[in-house]
Amino acid sequence: MNRIVELKAMVKDDPVPVELEGWVWQFRKQGKLAFVELFDGSTWKIVQVTLKKNKLPENKFDLIDEIYRGAALRIKGQLKADGRAPHGIEVLAEDMDVIHPSNEEFDQQVPQDAGVDVRLNKRHIVIRSPKTSAILKLRSHILKYTRDYFYSRGAEEVTPPTIVEAQAEGGAELFEIKYFDRKAYLTQSSQLYLEAAIFSLGNVFCILPSYRAEKSRTRRHLTEYTHIEGEYAFMDFEGLKEYLEDYIIYLMEQIKENDSDILELFGKTLEVPSKPFPRVSYKEAIEKLKELGHDIPYGTDISDAPERDLVNHYGVPIILEHFPTDMKPFYHKINEDDPSITNSADFIFPNLGEIIGCGERETDIDSMLDRMAKMDPPVNPEEYYWYMDLRRYGSIPHSGFGLGLERFLVWILDLDHIRDATLFPRLMNRVSP
């Protein structure tokens, strides 16, 4: 059995016998001739199968009456180059079996011009489309490149629990769940557990869902998203930023090298940014934004629109760093030279916004206790007894980050909405399918 992804390389001057299994994506019938666009998931590309009545065994051509979009077929035929076919190759069928039929309802499920609501309700059908397949392929490849990068840099992958007792982030809303006879929450970040794991494995990373119960209706928010997080032992703030620059550059180079067909499908040409990315301190950003017409008081969050204006001013990903201590959670390390700011940073991408949040972690237990008490609402150190213990016994300088995989995908392919960057999106009003 051959896979469609292999066909292009198999083409020779003379026709090559092949056997394919796959699903009908499009079907065009024309008297004693018919064209099937066959899709098998091995590539987002379909292959055109040409059915001619006089090339098929007796009565086999009559099977076209059973063929609807979505049907599963087995095809034996001759592969050849043909400029008339999509992607330049086609298979002239010599035999065909219907593995499982579809029916006329398939086309009624998700018509070409279906709206957002229909497409989300029929997501299980939508993902059969070549274009959605391409997005999910690239998503898979980014996960692979990520693992390749981290393993090659001496990190181990761990899978911390996603059911947790206390919250890791300050402001974000938590999903509360019933956990036998007590309350628990779905995690918003695995950071704190990764910090603990350092003491067992050294450098660590994880790729897990994070959950945010924010009632955010924007093209950049999911309630469940894939969070790529890492924590690195003995790494300071400067080392962290360089490490993440290398990571982003590595991802983009790999995508450019291996996934050019997908980039082309989406009409994207990637420009790999060069090191170092522009560093913009929070204080500088406030000043720069004033020039750009945004008057933001020092010590308040830079919201979305000004943030985008700022990064678009540079035109490349920037590192927005050194947020004021009062604005950030207790675990961000206070800067040695200026205690009013932290060694924290966000990587801001043009046209999209924040994709990575990162920072050096605080190791001074007294500073942490002080800031936990000042948070609103105050954080109870009892709930973090194990996290505080990390600072009691052999603490070390360490730094970490979190990257939103779907946001990165949206940025790479310039997608209209983050819901298109994941298999079955979880949104404010949607948990099905």
Partner RNA sequence: GCCUCCGUAGCUUAGCUCGGUAUAGCAUCCGACUGUUAAUCGGAAGGUCGACGGUUCAAAUCCGUUCGGGGGCGCCA
**Residue 406 lies near RNA (rule: CB under 7 A):** yes
Residues in 228-287 that interact with RNA by CB under 7 A:
none
The number of angstroms, rounded, from the C-alpha of 23 to the middle of its chain's C-alpha atoms is 26
The correct pick among 128, 221, 322, 333 for binding RNA (CB under 7 A) is 221
Interaction pattern, residues 169-208, with RNA; x per rule: CB under 7 A: xxxx------------------------------------
Minimum distance of RNA from residue 392's CB (angstroms): 26
The correct pick among 11, 72, 98, 114 for binding RNA (CB under 7 A) is 114
Residue (84 or 178) nearer to RNA, CB: 84
The correct pick among 407, 409, 415, 420 for binding RNA (CB under 7 A) is 407
CA 167 – CA 187 distance, rounded (Å): 7
Burial 220-248 (b: 16+ CB within 10 A, else e): bbbbbbbbbbbbbbebebeebbebbbebb
Question: How many C-beta neighbours within 10 Å does residue 194 have?
Answer: 25
Among 399, 391, 425, smallest CA distance to 229 is for: 399
The correct pick among 19, 81, 97, 111 for binding RNA (CB under 7 A) is 111
**Residue 331 lies near RNA (rule: CB under 7 A):** no
How long, in residues, is the chain? 433
Q: Is the peptide bond before 377 cis (omega within 30 degrees of 0)?
A: yes
**Residue 223 lies near RNA (rule: CB under 7 A):** yes
**Residue 117 lies near RNA (rule: CB under 7 A):** yes
**Residue 128 lies near RNA (rule: CB under 7 A):** no
**Residue 50 lies near RNA (rule: CB under 7 A):** yes
Residue (112 or 200) nearer to RNA, CB: 112
Instruction: Write phi, then psi, for 17 (nearest 5 degrees).
Output: -70, 135
Cα–Cα distances in angstroms (integers) from residue 240 to residues 274, 277, 400, in the given order: 16, 13, 7
**Residue 54 lies near RNA (rule: CB under 7 A):** yes
User: Could you tell me how many residues of this chain bind RNA (CB under 7 A)?
Assistant: 72
Minimum distance of RNA from residue 352's CB (angstroms): 9
CA 104 – CA 429 distance, rounded (Å): 30
DSSP conformational letter for 58? T
Which tokens hold the place of 85? 């076919």
Which tokens hold the place of 257? 């090298």
The piece of 197-205, 235-243, 348-356, 390-398 that touches RNA (CB under 7 A) is: 348-356
**Residue 399 lies near RNA (rule: CB under 7 A):** no
Residue (373 or 431) nearer to RNA, CB: 431
**Residue 403 lies near RNA (rule: CB under 7 A):** yes
Residues in 1-30 that interact with RNA by CB under 7 A:
26, 28-30
Give the orientation angle of helix 405-413 with respect to helix 237-258, to 10 degrees: 50
**Residue 309 lies near RNA (rule: CB under 7 A):** no
Minimum distance of RNA from residue 356's CB (angstroms): 5
Which tokens hold the place of 86? 């999509």
The piece of 44-52, 146-154, 248-256, 383-391 that touches RNA (CB under 7 A) is: 44-52
Residues in 58-97 that interact with RNA by CB under 7 A:
68, 82, 84-86, 90, 92
Sheet holding 156-157, edge to edge: 156-157, 204-211, 224-233, 398-404, 353-360, 344-349, 318-321, 279-281
The piece of 51-59, 246-254, 282-290, 335-343 that touches RNA (CB under 7 A) is: 51-59
